[in-house]
Amino acid sequence: MIAHVGNVITDNWFRSSFYKQFDLVINALDNLEARNHVNWVCLSLNVPLIDGGSTGLIGTVVSIVKEKTPCYECEPKPKPKQFPVCTIRSTPDKMIHCVVWAKLLFKSIFGADEETNYIKDLGDVLKQQLNSRDSD
């Protein structure tokens, strides 16, 4: 068995000839765009597909066989409300990934907004000082 790592949408060696060599394709891709792409390729080549994935602690496995089961895109999938940490840390490909990662880092460095957050307490003191100086 050989594992192939790359972008299934843009890498040149993931062409239809690549998929035709298999009796069955099994994937565990990390985004809907890539899953939809492999779904379309497998359907067009009449190659059965087993798609596995997870969202948080919930795992899914779907078998897709042309004209026997619904395709991957035929069953609407809910859009995730948050980004997986593995995506935003390891392979951020959208601006929003960088923003979410920065927010996570900020929270881990400066702590949650609660009573034990000393940096927040310092910020409150500074605000009070600025407000009292402005009112003078």
Hey, what amino acid is at 91? T
Phi, psi at residue 72, to the nearest 5°?
-60, -40
Report d(CA 100, CA 83) in Å as an integer.
8
Residues 97 and 60 grouped into a single domain: no
How many domains in the chain? 2
- Catalytic (active-site) positions: 86
- Domain boundary pick from 38, 55, 77: 77
Average pLDDT, the chain: 78
Report d(CA 27, CA 45) in Å as an integer.
16
Residues 105 and 68 grouped into a single domain: no
pLDDT mean over 23-34:
88
| pLDDT at residue 93 in the model | 72
CA atoms within 13 A on the CB side of 51: 23
Report d(CA 49, CA 66) in Å as an integer.
9
| pLDDT at residue 68 in the model | 93
Domain limits at 115? 82-136
| pLDDT at residue 98 in the model | 78
- Domain boundary pick from 39, 61, 77: 77
Residues 93 and 52 grouped into a single domain: no
- Domain boundary pick from 36, 54, 77: 77
Residues 35 and 102 grouped into a single domain: no
User: Residues 66-90: pLDDT tens digits?
Assistant: 999 988 888 776 666 666 666 666 6
DSSP, collapsed to helix, strand or coil, labels residue 62 as: strand
Residues 53 and 68 grouped into a single domain: yes
pTM: 0.57
